[in-house]
Amino acid sequence: MTSGPETILEVNALKTVFHTRGGEIHAVNSVDFSLKRGELLGVVGESGSGKSVTMMSLIGLLPSPPAEIREGRVIFGGRNILGLSERELRTLRGRDIGFVFQDPMTSLNPVFTVGYQLMEPLREHMGLSRRQAAARAADLLDLVGIPDARQRLSDYPHQFSGGMRQRVMIAIALACDPKILIADEPTTALDVTIQAQILELIRKIRNQLGMAIIWITHDLGVIAGIADRVVVMYGGQIVEQATVAKLFAEPRHPYTQALLQTIPSLRGARNHRLNSIPGQPPILAFAPSACPFMPRCTHAFDRCANENPARWDLDESHDVACFLASNNGASSHV
């Protein structure tokens, strides 16, 4: 992982566990990554790979207990934000880092108008008057493509379609002009036409506002169209990181290769069955002491069962946590 003057967010050795009646669940295991100004970083992996938990850990969105951030640093604005108080975190989430949740059906409060929910962060974090907040809220709805924006401020969430509710969630996340927008699978619950509209909206907003974006998804097809760089997660850790062009052209981790093979293709015989990855994701009851993908990997050998591989640098923009890469002369990742 490299950082420099353009780095806006840096995550080092992040570990998150959940305390349950059955024992600890090691959901995030020594995650390292950085985010540059204006960059769109895609985070991909199967359900349970640690994508959402990692991002919620960064800004204090996990309930504690049962969650515990056991180790790590998250550097934003020159300070480790893991050490902030709850009040400081609320301010950070309101002003500097916006979060778009996965399901717009449950993320909006049904008993308050959309206008109230848009105006609340504007008045709380930016000190706007009611009139100023209403004007800004209407501008935000217009920005995300909702017609008759000023009139819609008095409507309730149930009066909006699913796609419109997701646009409202994006507007709320953008309310205070955050430096980073984290979008947690924001198109998963939407049909393909609305998905395309939301993706185009994100492109427009990114170009217009120049903010950095972290896009969490299980859909590599989406990532191919919008991301600059991709982080692949499995078993609560990063197994590969590369530019989007490099990842699709030269995937090096067997898990990344398997994910890419599951993408449907318009080419080939019509009776060709879709590929799947045999086996199940790991149960994270213990900190990983072996390669987490080993039980499902067709390239596994003895060392994989006895040691969890570090990430190895293939070049300045591509690293992978796999012994196959280390055996090919890659250098140790720091």
Average pLDDT value for residue range 289-315: 94
Using the predicted structure, report yes or no on whether residue 27 has a pLDDT greater than 70: yes
Q: What's residue 186's pLDDT?
A: 84
Two structure tokens written together for 212: 């950095």
Give the orientation angle of helix 114-125 with respect to helix 162-174, to 10 degrees: 10
In sequence order, the β-bridge partners of residue 12 are: 73
**Average pLDDT, whole number, for the chain?**
90
Average pLDDT value for residue range 167-191: 88
Using the predicted structure, report yes or no on whether residue 159 has a pLDDT greater than 60: yes
Band of pLDDT at residue 206, cut at 50, 70 and 90: confident
CB proximity list for 107: less than 8 A, separation 6 or greater = 101, 169
Residues 74, 223: Cα–Cα separation, whole Å: 24
Using the predicted structure, report yes or no on whether residue 329 has a pLDDT greater than 50: no
- Which range among 140-149, 309-318, 319-328 shows the weakest confidence by mean pLDDT? 319-328
C-beta neighbour count of 288 within 10 angstroms? 18
- pLDDT tens profile 235-244: 999 999 999 9
- pLDDT tens profile 64-115: 899 999 999 999 999 999 989 999 999 998 889 999 987 777 789 999 999 9
Using the predicted structure, report yes or no on whether residue 330 has a pLDDT greater than 60: no
Average pLDDT value for residue range 162-190: 88
Strand ranges in 90-234 using DSSP code E only, listed in sequence order: 97-100, 180-184, 212-217, 229-234
Using the predicted structure, report yes or no on whether residue 38 has a pLDDT greater than 80: yes
C-beta neighbour count of 267 within 10 angstroms? 5
3-state secondary structure of 217: strand
Q: What are the residue ranges spanned by the domains of the chain? A: 7-96+180-195+210-264+276-332, 103-175
Residues 172, 146: Cα–Cα separation, whole Å: 13
Inter-residue contact 311 to 233 (CB < 8 Å): no
| Protein fold of 7-96+180-195+210-264+276-332 | Rossmann fold (3.40.50)
Inter-residue contact 108 to 162 (CB < 8 Å): no
Q: What's residue 210's pLDDT?
A: 87
Q: What's residue 163's pLDDT?
A: 86
Average pLDDT value for residue range 134-151: 93
Above pLDDT 70, what percent of the chain? 93
Residues 162, 279: Cα–Cα separation, whole Å: 34
Average pLDDT value for residue range 285-294: 93
Above pLDDT 90, what percent of the chain? 66
Q: What's residue 269's pLDDT?
A: 63
Q: Which of 166, 169, 318 is nearest to 253 (CA)?
A: 318
| pTM (two decimals) | 0.90
The DSSP line for 1-45 is ----TTEEEEEEEEEEEEEETTEEEEEEEEEEEEEETT-EEEEE-
Inter-residue contact 302 to 281 (CB < 8 Å): no
Q: What's residue 203's pLDDT?
A: 86
Band of pLDDT at residue 215, cut at 50, 70 and 90: very high
Q: What's residue 45's pLDDT?
A: 93
Residues 136, 84: Cα–Cα separation, whole Å: 29
Residues 172, 108: Cα–Cα separation, whole Å: 10
